[in-house]
């Protein structure tokens, strides 16, 4: 008996055990490409790192201790990354709003 995906009824080749993530996601119709998976990974890493830095700085301030130099540098690095991305995305949004032709085809295949 051939197994089918529970969401869409498409046949699954060789059973669900032999599927990799992209094959399983494609069978469900939800695979958007490698770009989205990597973007989600880096957003997750950014959130973990910023949460750790903010909690460490807050705890050290509450206990009236100096923060380690590495935590302070990581905080400044995250601040610089956030500021740079905000300026770049704001500039891109402004360019799109005034009608500048911006080639977005290669950024995320299938999204644009």
- What's the pLDDT score for residue 62? 95
**Spatial CB neighbours of 12, under 8 Å, sequence gap ≥ 6:** 2, 3, 4, 5, 19, 27
106 lies in a domain?
no
pLDDT of residue 38: 79
User: Dmax of the chain from CA atoms?
Assistant: 67
- Each of the 112 residues of the chain gets a pLDDT tens digit; together they read 556 666 666 665 555 555 455 554 555 555 555 556 777 888 899 999 999 999 999 999 999 999 999 999 999 999 999 999 999 999 999 998 998 888 776 665 555 4
Asked if the structure places residue 41 within a domain, the reply is yes
Q: What range defines the domain where residue 55 resides?
A: 34-97
Number of structural domains (the chain) is 2
Same domain, 47 and 85: yes
- First-to-last CA distance in the chain? 39
pTM of the model: 0.57
Tokens of 62: 């509450």
Same domain? 12 vs 44: no
């Amino acid at each position: 008996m051939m197994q089918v995906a529970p969401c869409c009824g498409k046949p699954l080749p060789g059973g669900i055990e032999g599927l990799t993530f992209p094959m399983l996601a494609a069978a469900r119709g939800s695979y958007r490409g490698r770009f989205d998976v990597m973007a989600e990974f880096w957003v997750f890493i950014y959130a973990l790192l910023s949460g750790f830095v903010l909690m460490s700085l807050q705890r050290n301030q509450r206990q009236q201790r100096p923060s380690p130099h590495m935590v302070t540098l990581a905080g400044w690095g995250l601040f610089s990354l956030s500021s740079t991305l905000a300026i770049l995305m704001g500039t891109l949004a402004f360019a799109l709003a005034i009608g500048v032709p911006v080639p977005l085809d290669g950024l995320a295949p299938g999204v644009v």
